[in-house]
Amino acid sequence: MNKQNILNRRRFLTGSSAVLGASLIPTIASSALGHSNRSSSQAATINSDQNTHKVPVLTGKEFDLYVSKQSAIVNGKKSMATLINDSLPAPTLKMREGDTVVIRVHNQMDESTSIHWHGLLVPFEMDGVPGISFEGIPAHSTFTYKFKLKQSGTYWYHSHSGFQEQTGMLGAIVIEPKGRERHPIDEDHVIVLSDWTSRNPHNLLKLLKQRADFDNYHLPDFKKLLADIAETDMKTAFDKRKMWNQMRMMPTDFTDLSGENTFTYLINGKTTAANWAQIVKAGQRVKLRFINASAQTIFDVRIPGLKMTVVATDGIDVAPVAIDDFRIGVAETYDVIVTPTKDAHTIFAQNIDRSGYVAATLATKEGARAAIPAMDKVEWLTMQI
């Protein structure tokens, strides 16, 4: 797929990701993990720099989700996280099309919370957006979501209160179809992409309001001007800048917050150093359910040396398309099928502004790891008339 997109303006998605035409149900789920009602002060610190914690998978028709505050270490820095069942990301909820599910959300915090079921068709009172479909879940209370699953596919859920999603309150939803899968596979795995900051999200929003490009480290400086003159000529180089100046825009205005100084990118809650890894069998068809659960990052994804076949987007089956890479926007999901052949393949997701990336491993041999590719060159935005 062509990686060049035409981006008009960027938006900082404060707190929770944009609702892309899908509603979700606020539910309080019951954990099959025997989750205790311990306070956040008693909970262990989550360390995303170590590959010890696996994302829990909860299955069935009834779920209990416990929301709490606790500390997390990401990229060597400790900060407070908003977690469900002590997990970053939250547990993956596996359900079945046609079932009526009951999700009990237990708010153990001293602040209000909510859960939005992104992409699910639910009654309005189950949508989970405070101030629109309900009043939110007050501190130290329980709210029960109940709805019938009218669809199948890959979706996700997240808080719609303040910046709780940005601080970790998000998770995957996998709804199995009533019939058989349209595209037969041998196994499937969830890949949750997210962005994390140890800085105060409220302060970041304040800075963006004061100066929208404060976190843009790829500005068209004098060095770039000289390079453009050398590549073309002086008139072309100056005309190029004149166009952008007239629009009062930056040609590198890809994203509000970058991986240069603000964000660390995660796959299933793990940094590149932690190396989230999944062992699969060589020669078998594996479905990877990619979910962009970031607050505002657009990712370009590829698995070097391994073709991907897109079979679904945002929970909807599509005619299979073979690709080398794809661009996934905030809140989007892509189901791709791959057939691993080597000891290890790198899953590589880079920010659209090329300021950072996250990598993980798909391996057919225990302990194997493939090389991590270099990030692509930073390009200027382009225009079409």
Q: Is the pLDDT of residue 40 over 70?
A: no
Residue 27's pLDDT is: 34
d(CA 367, CA 364): 9
Contact 280, 310 (CB under 8 A): no
What is the rounded CA–CA span in Å between residue 44 and residue 148? 35
CB 190 within 8 A of CB 289: yes
Q: Quickly tell me which residue has 């007050």 as its tokens.
A: 138
Residue 222 to residue 237: CA distance in whole angstroms: 11
Establish how many alpha carbons lie within 13 A of residue 368's alpha carbon, considering only the half-sphere containing its beta carbon: 17
Could you tell me the CA-to-CA distances from 203 to 257, 269, 370 in Å, in that order?
Answer: 12, 23, 38
User: What mean pLDDT comes out for the span 271-300?
Assistant: 97
Tokens of 22: 């899908």
Alpha helices in the chain (DSSP H): 201-210, 222-231, 234-247
Residue type, 356: G
Which residues in 40-77 are b (16+ Cβ under 10 Å) and which e? beebeebbbbebebebbebeeebbbbbbbbbbbbbbee
Would you say residue 16 has pLDDT above 70? no
- Dist CA 379 CA 385 (whole Å): 19
pLDDT average, residue stretch 83-98: 98
Where is average pLDDT lowest: 43-47, 57-61, 96-100?
43-47
SS3 for 171?
Answer: strand
Q: How confident is the model at residue 126 (pLDDT cuts 50, 70, 90)?
A: very high
Structure tokens at 331: 């809140």
Average pLDDT over the chain reads 88
pLDDT exceeding 90 applies to what percent of the chain?
A: 74
Residue-level pLDDT at 25: 32
- Rounded Cα gap, residues 32 and 114, in angstroms: 21
Instruction: Give me the mean pLDDT over the 304-324 stretch.
Output: 97
Instruction: Out of 222-231, 274-283, 376-385, give the one with best mean pLDDT.
Output: 274-283
Q: Is 36 helix (H, G, I), strand (E, B) or coil?
A: coil
Above 50 in pLDDT, residue 244? yes
**Residue 42: band (very low, low, confident or very high) from pLDDT cuts 50, 70, 90:** low
Rounded mean pLDDT of 364-375? 97
Residue 10: pLDDT over 70: no
User: Is pLDDT above 80 for 265?
Assistant: yes
| pTM of structure | 0.86
The β-bridge relationship of strands 187-196 and 286-292 is parallel
Burial class (CB in 10 A: 0-12, 13-18, 19+), 226: exposed
Within 10 Å of residue 203's Cβ, how many Cβ atoms?
9
